[in-house]
Chains A and B, each alone.
Chain A
Amino acid sequence: MNMNEYVNNPDEAKEYWDRYRLFYLLLVISISLFSVRLWYLQIFNGAELRDFSDKNRLKEMKIKAPRGLMLDRNGEILVQNLLGFEAVILPQYIDDIEKLSQVVGPILNLEPQRVIERIKRSRRVNGAFAAVKLKEDLSREEVIRLKKIRLEVSGLEIRETILRNYPLGENGAQLFGYVGEISKKQLPKLNKDFDGKIRFEQGDIIGKNGLEETLELTIRGRDGVRLVQVDAHGRETVSSASPNLYSESLKNQEPISGQHAVLTLDKTVQEAAWKTMQTNQRIGGIVAMKTNGEILAWVSGPSFNPNELSTSISSATWTKLISDPFKPLRNKVIQDHASPGSTFKPLIALAALQENEISDSTIVSAPGVFYFGRRPYHDHNKGGHGNITVYEAIEKSSNVFFYKMGIALGVDKMFNYMSSLGIGSRTGVELKLEVPGLMPSSKWKKDNIGEDWQPGENLSTAIGQGFVASSLMQLAVSYNAIATEGLVVKPYVIQKILDMDGKTIKEHYPQILRNLQERQANGVQISKKNFQIVKEGMRRVANGNAGTARFWKIPGVPFAGKTGTAQVMSFSADQIYSNCTSRPMQQRHHGWFIGYAPADNPEITVAVLAEHSCHGNTGAVPLFRDVVQAYFQKYHPEVIEEGKKIAKVKAPSVEKPTASEDD
């Protein structure tokens, strides 16, 4: 062996020749290992991994199905859809939230800090994979500016959306409802409620309140799915890079648009109702229906703008809506109940006549004060009304007359009649959150308050005070029963459901719940004659010389009805009517007027609640008149024209309406 380092013998290098076999062994083993592994991945598992790579880059995008429209009875659009754009952040793809907020914030006129907060909050509340809507209903310019910076910031997406639009604006907002994103809390509950019918997902838009909520199943349609190619940052990419885009298992699915709803509403009447409420500066509710139960108009005020509420509403606006003492979000036609006050009197009169406590010729003494036991019960008119029949009692709204009827009938008889007429139970109109109201009975008081019924309570019950509470819709239904001489109908607002092509697939018809001329299970049966007596009394309210609503007329269309006052706060008897208008708004009484027209052959029934207007006559009757007039102007213009001619011939009335002569 040569140990010299510097002079090598070439032959020596040959001594390694055997050792190269070691390396070849290593090489063969490793190349084989790699080849087998590559075969396993690319051939054996190739198809499966190809599928994986497709799923990697293909993202299922939900295409929202357009919700169905809402039309009025003549096909006029009440609720529709508009196309729009929204800016959305996908939190899982954000790589620089600071930069994103700095770039996107100013374009959308949002504080960068607020953008970060919103994203972080959504991450916390809805998880990292839920899209965060930064702004809905983007302007054209915003869309252009966002598109320019889209590639710079990962996580930003501009989506085409369908915006729900309510052309009537604030008018009828509580009836139509609005739409909004499902909250994470709502999700499990909704999926339970709609089990097997719709599968809701986070971020879905659903109807909130009103008909949007009631009709959810019908008008929401079915969302579609579109596959888009995305990069690892979730950005949509142009698919031309790859010809083999879609695997067979992955297919697009077209959205199916929702079905349309034709409502019983009449846009003209609806608009007239809202307009008169605005011009008279009233708040409260108006509901107008045909005597068969088809609702023509339904307004509640003050109101809110559902267009605003259906896109992302600022929390300031929301707080304002929630804390408004006059409750704009509430549907005052069905969600509030109050003492019906004097509007109760025609109903009590029916009971008294039918029970033969009086006949139409019975004369009853109606002084200004009535003592029951030792307690004085006052009339609103200090001098009283003298000796009167039931006609005058209704016309002048005598309290004492009806105190006496209350004593004669007793609470349980009144309960039977009032219940049959629809007081104290839900009318069954399609909207949620309808209150049942309350009609007391002796049993009810025992069960719920634990006390016996006091005879004195018969008096207040008979004039619609005390425990009695009724919603505007209930009063409309019970007055409609008088107008039709006994038919208690189920009011309804959804007339037809149309499919996409406008073909009717479901139709609703008027539904008579009871005919009171026939004997009811609780023994109540009211004769045609007695209905006619009460109707005459109510005709005089608007047309008689002393009627509480006689200052408002519709040319050619005499109407009938009854005024009433609902106390908001308890006052002593002499305070009740004296100084209402001098009190703060929130303490003033509500005014009612419920009636129908024409008086002799009624076509429509209209109920008006004028909150905090102090009086039923000045507060509510003008609104009633405008709504009825709008209806007749549209459907019977000749009657109005004829009436106007006659009115010109007659001398104009010199009397001026006085609010004090109320109820």
Chain B
Amino acid sequence: MDISLVTGEKSFFHKVDWTLVVLILGLHGLGLINLYSATHGPLDQNVAGLFINQGIWLGIGWTVFFTMTLMDYSLLNRIAYVVYFLNLGALLYVTLFGKVALGAQRWIDLGPFHYQPSETMKLAMIVVLAKGLSRYSVHGKGLGFQELALPLFLLALPFGLVVEQPDLGTSMMITAVSVSMIIFCKVRRSIIMGAALFLAIAIPVAWKYGLHDYQRNRVLTFLSPNNDPRGTGYNSIQSRIAVGSGQFFGKGYRNGTQSQLEFLPERHTDFIFSVLSEEWGFVGSLLTLGLFAGLFYTLVRIASGARDKFGALLCVGILFYVFWHMFVNIGMVIGLLPIVGIPLPLVSYGGSSMLTTMTGLGLASSVAFRRYIF
């Protein structure tokens, strides 16, 4: 079948999924507005440049997005393993020789910016799993041990390396996205039950022997932050105060005392949502959640219109990627989850996260560009 005949009749303008673009722009706009507030408080002296930086990252991000849109994603189906193993190699390199930050080695110094292989690994994982899982049908009983062996092996390698760095947040993210994709493709009920039972036993053991002190502290602090309000519980408490004190309509733009007076830590990166909630209140918070829900709906729509299973699974992977990041970040900010260094996709400051997310969404856009036309 000549696919170009099906799609080639329409122009570039008609083939791009503009709903996706608008929703992303919406979230970007939200991010910039808040970033400006978070970096232009009365006390901020050297962070105003971050706003410009973010603008540059956005430009790069959109370039990547449209490059991906024009690229036929089928190419990735062919080179999936190459992408995966190259990335794995980089991860191995970082684990052995990487730069140390906050007690973990995470990146390779590439002159003007840091390359963080664990970040791109999330995408590589999506690609390689989309390829692997698209071979199986969801009709029938679902995936058995035999079918699961390869995906789980592909997950185990990067997971082990990232844990070794150690970066629990990212390794959990990779796992969450991968497992979500696998379950999406239907797993036998008995295996799911077995895995649940296994986790029930394994988690307490991991707690005791597998975690670093600081990681254990974070979880403990999450469970009762008031035990140590000046220490590890500080971030959690200050964030909750910020969100709650916004009340219904918020304190007004750039009037959030928690963020402007620096009570909020990491307010331009991981805690950007607290700034937003404090200044825009319940209304602003729900609007943000609404934008994300709209994005998810659009990604599902693109996936369901994909011309092939690989494309659909690619979209599903990216959907889970954005979803889990949002879930963990907002959950942490509003005190439902422990403090983990996960940024809010498209909104938080940070080039690494921005590039990865925009690449992923660019792939989804590429799927939409080549969608199956009824």
Q: Which residues of A are at the interface with B, using a C-beta cutoff of 8 A? A: 1, 3, 5-6, 8-10, 12-20, 22-24, 26-27, 30-31, 33-35, 37-39, 41-43, 45-50, 52-54, 56-57, 229-233, 235, 237-238, 241-244
A45 touches B244 (CB 8 A): yes
| Given A5-B77, A38-B277, CB of A20 within 8 Å of CB of B300 | yes
Residues of chain A lying within 8 A (CB to CB) of residue B286: 35, 38
A10 touches B289 (CB 8 A): no
16 more contacts with CB within 8 A, not counting A5-B135, A42-B248, A57-B263, are A6-B77, A8-B134, A27-B323, A30-B323, A39-B282, A41-B335, A42-B243, A42-B277, A46-B244, A46-B247, A53-B241, A56-B258, A232-B261, A241-B41, A242-B257, A242-B260
Contacting residues of chain B (37-56) with chain A, CB-CB under 8 angstroms? 41-43
A46 touches B258 (CB 8 A): no
A42 touches B261 (CB 8 A): no
B311 touches A13 (CB 8 A): yes
A56 touches B251 (CB 8 A): no
How many B residues touch A, CB cutoff 8 Å? 64
> Bound state CA distance, A26 and B292, in angstroms?
14
Please tell me which one of the listed residues B244, B262, B263 contacts residue A49 in the complex, with CB atoms under 8 A apart.
Answer: B244
B137 in contact (CB, < 8 A): yes
B316 → chain A closest CB, angstroms: 8
B293 in contact (CB, < 8 A): yes
B304 touches A17 (CB 8 A): yes
B372 in contact (CB, < 8 A): yes
Please tell me which one of the listed residues A16, A24, A30, A230 contacts residue B312 in the complex, with CB atoms under 8 A apart.
Answer: A16
Q: List 23 A-B contacts (CB under 8 A).
A: A1-B139, A5-B134, A6-B78, A13-B311, A13-B372, A19-B185, A22-B183, A23-B316, A27-B323, A34-B334, A37-B336, A41-B244, A42-B285, A46-B244, A46-B246, A49-B243, A53-B245, A56-B241, A56-B263, A231-B43, A241-B254, A242-B255, A243-B255
Please tell me which one of the listed residues B304, B313, B330 contacts residue A20 in the complex, with CB atoms under 8 A apart.
Answer: B304
- Among all A-B residue pairs, the 4 with the closest Cβ atoms: A49-B244, A8-B308, A46-B247, A53-B245
Q: Which residues of B are at the interface with A, using a C-beta cutoff of 8 A? A: 41-43, 77-78, 131, 134-135, 137-139, 183-186, 238, 240-248, 251, 254-255, 257-258, 260-263, 277-278, 281-282, 285-286, 289, 293, 296, 300, 303-304, 306-313, 316, 319, 323, 327, 330-331, 334-336, 372
B325 → chain A closest CB, angstroms: 12
Most buried by B among A16, A33, A237: A16
- B254's closest neighbor in chain A, by CB? A241
Please tell me which one of the listed residues A10, A33, A39, A230 contacts residue B261 in the complex, with CB atoms under 8 A apart.
Answer: A230
A19 touches B244 (CB 8 A): no
B334 touches A18 (CB 8 A): no
Q: Which label, helix, strand, loop or mixed, suits the secondary structure of the A interface?
A: helix
> Bound state CA distance, A244 and B138, in angstroms?
58
Residues of chain B lying within 8 A (CB to CB) of residue A38: 243, 277, 282, 285-286, 334
> Bound state CA distance, A46 and B240, in angstroms?
10
A250 → chain B closest CB, angstroms: 13
> Bound state CA distance, A53 and B240, in angstroms?
10
| Given A12-B309, A38-B286, A233-B262, CB of A53 within 8 Å of CB of B77 | no
- B367's closest neighbor in chain A, by CB? A13
- A49's closest neighbor in chain B, by CB? B244
> Bound state CA distance, A331 and B325, in angstroms?
76
Residues of chain A lying within 8 A (CB to CB) of residue B77: 5-6
A42 touches B246 (CB 8 A): yes
B37 → chain A closest CB, angstroms: 11
A37 → chain B closest CB, angstroms: 5
Residues of chain A lying within 8 A (CB to CB) of residue B304: 13-14, 16-17, 20
